[in-house]
Amino acid sequence: MDSPSLLTIPVELRELIYGYLFSSFIIRHGFKSPNTAPSGTSLTDSNRIALLLTCRQINAEAWRHLPLNCTLHFRSTENLLSTLLSVGQSALTRIRHVRVRAFPFPLYTTGRPDYYPTYFAANALSLLPGLCLETLVVEDCWHGFGMGDGWRDVTTYFDIEALLQSEAWKELTYITPCTDFIASGYDVRRKRQVQPQTWDVMLKERDGEESGAEVEMFIVPYKQQTATGHQKTEDGRIMQPWSAKPGHEVIENWRVAGPEQSFKGEVRIVARRGKRVQAVQTGLSEKMSWKDMKNQEGGLVRRDWTPYHNDMADAMGWIYGGWGRRMQLSNQALSS
């Protein structure tokens, strides 16, 4: 007896196979070198899309499962905008899984010293009405490549908070390589609060106390031999629940510090929207490419967005290194 072919099994089972296969796909945009891919992954070309070339029937059945199950991994916020603003609405609304390094935007590489506003990465989602993500994984752009001043700690904290307030996702994971965003003593604004409790309350107020909405925080200890717990990262490292108070409060009164305050490691903030929440980005399409939007006369200016800056000196005139910091980020985001 001949072995059954793919077309001889019920279409419902074939669709499960398509979804399972495409869930292993990671489609990357903006990476100019294989060395820029995350460790443990591969950029080697393969014939995984050969299934779509098998025959017309399989192509017709399978192609629609690709955007629903694959992960789109973007090098930067501008890579995300350049790609997703160029696709049709029917394709955009079927994308379910995105990973991006959350640079502020827009960033330029021209070296011009005049001031221009930049915005939180979370604002980029509002340019993509109809986006409805099951998972959004965001990487911290401020730590891990040599920006050595405390300014980055506060910006990471408010990056996270802005994303938690945004739409378009059902589950958000924010990854930062260290604890400085909450545990460092630098905070000129003095607006950081104990986490994840404060963010958890914020999300529950938004979606409903009984909705199932929650925010958790995990630490992946640098010293894995001391790590406890059964939860692991995708590369097998142990992560454990973690909470911390703002570092500037601990400096003022060391007695408020809990036993976990001094832990060191990668931190992951995981947020889940309420079960009945329709997590879809609202708004009207700009009907412009990212290049046109970015280069329009006067630059990209949105009156209803809060410009991204550290303090008034930075906001008013690129004083005290504001311009230099943005050029560092620009080089990382657009030239690597």
Q: Which of 179, 152, 174 is nearest to 163 (CA)?
A: 174
Average pLDDT across the chain, whole number: 83
The pLDDT, as a whole number, for residue 3 is 62
Q: Quick one: which H or E segment has residue 61?
A: helix 56-62
**pLDDT the model gives residue 318:** 44
User: In terms of Cα–Cα distance, which of 247, 251, 248, 231 is closest to 239?
Assistant: 231
Q: Mapping DSSP to helix (H, G, I), strand (E, B) and coil, where does residue 133 land? A: strand
Mean local confidence (pLDDT), 304-332: 62
**The model's pTM:** 0.87
Q: Cα dist. 277→8, 68, 69, 204, 213 in Å?
A: 39, 19, 21, 12, 9
Say if residues 268 and 218 touch (Cβ distance below 8 Å): yes
CA distance 182 to 127: 29
Give the three-state DSSP class for 211.
coil
Q: What percent of the chain has pLDDT over 90?
A: 41
Q: How far is it, in rounded angstroms, from Cα 250 to Cα 303?
A: 37
The H or E element that residue 180 is part of is: helix 180-183
State the Cα–Cα distance between residues 115 and 134, nearest whole angstrom.
Answer: 37
Could you report the per-residue pLDDT of 15-46, keeping only the tens digit for each? 999 899 898 899 999 887 654 445 444 444 45
Residue pLDDT, tens place only, 258-278:
778 889 999 999 999 999 998
Six-digit token pair at 260?
């976990």
Give the tens place of pLDDT for each residue, 153-207: 788 898 999 999 999 999 999 999 999 999 888 777 788 899 999 999 999 999 9
Q: Does residue 250 or residue 18 have the better pLDDT?
A: 18
Distance CA 23, CA 13 (A): 15
**DSSP label of 2:** P
**Residue 150 pLDDT exceeds 80:** no
- Count CB atoms within 10 A of the CB of residue 223: 9
Q: What angle do CA 22, 333, 165 make, to 5 degrees?
A: 70
Cα maximum dimension of the chain: 79
Specify the DSSP class assigned to residue 244: B
Residue 239, pLDDT score: 96
Residue for token pair 């007695």: 255
